[in-house]
């Protein structure tokens, strides 16, 4: 829900320009007073080199992007770059563009849902998965896999030789393959990032909540945070703001726009624990601020501070792993570059999206792109991400 000041800005037509100038106070922020306009403008100027860095990658790493930067409870900037797709004459990227978040679904949606249920005493992280999903029992090794193993990507699954979606026609077909997937390593001993883990967490959330994942999130997280442009299977009425992803010539044989890019999530009906969520930079800024506020938003404690702290901590599964619960954390050669805080939490999405939440700087960075348009073969995003994050963090540090 918007606060009064935000409503007034929207009503007067000054909402987006003011965001670009960095003068919006995020509801629920610890600091109750917005900075003076002159200070906000100065901070926006301070970010100019970071904007230039994003602009430099337009046409090389992605057709377009939206960058949101927040610090100390203020949304310093929301700025769009490039175009909505790679076609000649494509419209400029709008600042309220809706992106297919891909694997950001794992943290923004599924991990946050798990945190909510843990917070309420309904989810035991160290319980075996088969307690919540009886059909997961029966395969050797499954009895030792816990929810914590799933969230830390240390379950030990031995991935199949082929793709799940190639052997399934619906959600049940995908789940049957995961429920009987063999174990290749003892749980907790090897880190392997796998979509299967968060697909199962999404199923566990649904069993505990007694309702579909998308409905639970809308009711318990996205609704309370006022994330009106966030959800699964977006309405066709929003198509003009939805950013196209890949030209799929192997499976769906069309340009993917408004339907999830990930093939497994598509077969599962667009709602899955690992992919399928669509959102905007401004909506994701609210998630970033929720974590920085230790679970508090607009006077309401959505998550206990100790729950937020737990989910932002490295789990040591296996020993030395940088994974928190659901979230990753910066590494020396990671996408945040050399300036990433060791206590920050991060995640990326295959389509070209990322979220970085930094408690040491009390800041977040949202970078949304459609780097897979028109093809996933463009891998320049792996160079662009650290360069852009380094530029933003340099600007934030210089403004101290």
Query: Mean pLDDT over all residues of the chain?
Result: 91
Binning pLDDT at 50, 70 and 90, where does residue 303 land? very high
Predicted confidence at residue 8, as pLDDT, reads: 32
For residue range 185-238, list pLDDT tens digits in order: 999 999 999 999 999 999 999 999 999 999 999 999 999 999 999 999 999 999
| Other beta carbons within 10 Å of 304 | 16
Predicted confidence at residue 7, as pLDDT, reads: 34
For residue range 162-183, list pLDDT tens digits in order: 999 999 999 999 999 999 999 9
Binning pLDDT at 50, 70 and 90, where does residue 24 land? low
For residues 59 and 371, give the distance between their C-alpha atoms in angstroms, rounded to a whole number. 9
Measured CA to CA in angstroms, residue 361 lies from 218, 299, 313, 395 at distances of: 29, 22, 17, 12
Predicted confidence at residue 385, as pLDDT, reads: 98
Binning pLDDT at 50, 70 and 90, where does residue 39 land? low
Predicted confidence at residue 12, as pLDDT, reads: 30
Mean pLDDT of 14-20: 37
Predicted confidence at residue 37, as pLDDT, reads: 61
Which pTM was predicted? 0.92
pLDDT at residue 34 greater than cutoff 70: no
End-to-end CA distance of the chain: give it in Å, rounded: 31
- 37-46 helix and 48-57 helix, angle to the nearest 10 degrees: 40
Predicted confidence at residue 119, as pLDDT, reads: 98
Contact 98, 236 (CB under 8 A): no
Predicted confidence at residue 36, as pLDDT, reads: 54
Phi and psi at residue 20, to the nearest 5°: -65, -30
Mean pLDDT of 60-81: 97
For residue range 215-229, list pLDDT tens digits in order: 999 999 999 999 999
For residue range 130-161, list pLDDT tens digits in order: 999 999 999 999 999 999 999 999 999 999 99
Residue among 195, 183, 176, 173 nearest 145 (CA): 183
Predicted confidence at residue 333, as pLDDT, reads: 78
Pairwise pLDDT comparison (67 vs 6), residue with the higher score = 67
In sequence order, which residues have a C-beta less than 8 Å from that of residue 59 and are 6 or more positions away? 82
- 381-398 helix and 48-57 helix, angle to the nearest 10 degrees: 170
Predicted confidence at residue 183, as pLDDT, reads: 98
Alpha helical stretches, state H, 136-194: 147-151, 171-179
pLDDT at residue 18 greater than cutoff 70: no
Predicted confidence at residue 40, as pLDDT, reads: 62
Predicted confidence at residue 334, as pLDDT, reads: 86
Mean pLDDT of 363-371: 98
pLDDT at residue 22 greater than cutoff 80: no
For residue range 307-331, list pLDDT tens digits in order: 999 999 999 999 989 899 999 999 8
Q: Which two tokens stand for residue 338?
A: 């050399």
Binning pLDDT at 50, 70 and 90, where does residue 399 land? confident
Mean pLDDT of 15-43: 51
Predicted confidence at residue 41, as pLDDT, reads: 72
Total residue length of the chain? 400
Predicted confidence at residue 28, as pLDDT, reads: 55
């Amino acid at each position: 829900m918007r606060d009064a000041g935000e409503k007034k800005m929207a009503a007067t037509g000054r909402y987006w320009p003011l965001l670009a100038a960095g003068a919006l106070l995020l509801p629920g922020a610890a600091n109750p007073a917005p900075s003076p306009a002159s200070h906000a403008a100065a901070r926006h100027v301070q970010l100019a080199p970071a904007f230039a860095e994003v602009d430099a990658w337009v046409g090389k790493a992605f057709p377009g992007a939206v960058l949101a930067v927040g610090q100390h409870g203020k949304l310093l900037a929301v700025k769009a770059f490039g175009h909505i797709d790679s076609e000649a004459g494509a419209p400029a990227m709008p600042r309220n563009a809706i992106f297919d978040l891909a694997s950001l679904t794992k943290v923004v949606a599924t991990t946050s849902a798990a945190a909510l249920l843990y917070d309420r005493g309904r989810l035991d992280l160290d319980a075996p998965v088969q307690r919540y999903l009886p059909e997961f029992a029966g395969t050797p090794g499954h009895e030792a896999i816990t929810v914590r193993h799933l969230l830390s990507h240390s379950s030990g699954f031995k991935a199949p030789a082929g793709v799940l979606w190639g052997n399934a026609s619906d959600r049940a077909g995908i789940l049957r393959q995961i429920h009987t997937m063999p174990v290749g390593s003892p749980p907790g001993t090897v880190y392997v990032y796998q979509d299967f883990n968060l697909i199962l967490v999404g199923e566990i959330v649904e069993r505990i909540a007694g309702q579909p994942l998308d409905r639970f999130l809308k009711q318990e997280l996205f609704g309370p945070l006022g994330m009106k442009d966030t959800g699964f299977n977006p309405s066709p009425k929003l198509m003009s703001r939805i950013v196209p992803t890949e030209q799929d010539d192997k499976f769906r044989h069309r340009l993917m726009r408004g339907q999830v890019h990930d093939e497994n999530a598509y077969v599962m009906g667009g709602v899955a624990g690992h992919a399928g969520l669509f959102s905007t930079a401004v909506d994701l800024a609210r998630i970033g601020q929720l974590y920085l506020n230790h679970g508090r938003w607009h006077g309401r404690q959505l998550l206990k501070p100790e729950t937020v702290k737990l989910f932002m901590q490295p789990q040591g599964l296996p020993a030395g792993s940088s994974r928190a619960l659901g979230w990753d954390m910066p590494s020396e050669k990671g996408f945040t570059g050399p300036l990433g805080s060791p206590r920050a939490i991060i995640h990326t999405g295959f389509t070209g999206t990322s979220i970085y939440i930094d408690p040491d700087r009390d800041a977040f960075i949202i970078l949304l792109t459609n780097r897979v348009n028109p093809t996933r073969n463009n891998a320049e995003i792996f160079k662009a991400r650290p360069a852009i994050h380094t530029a933003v963090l340099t600007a934030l540090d210089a403004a101290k």
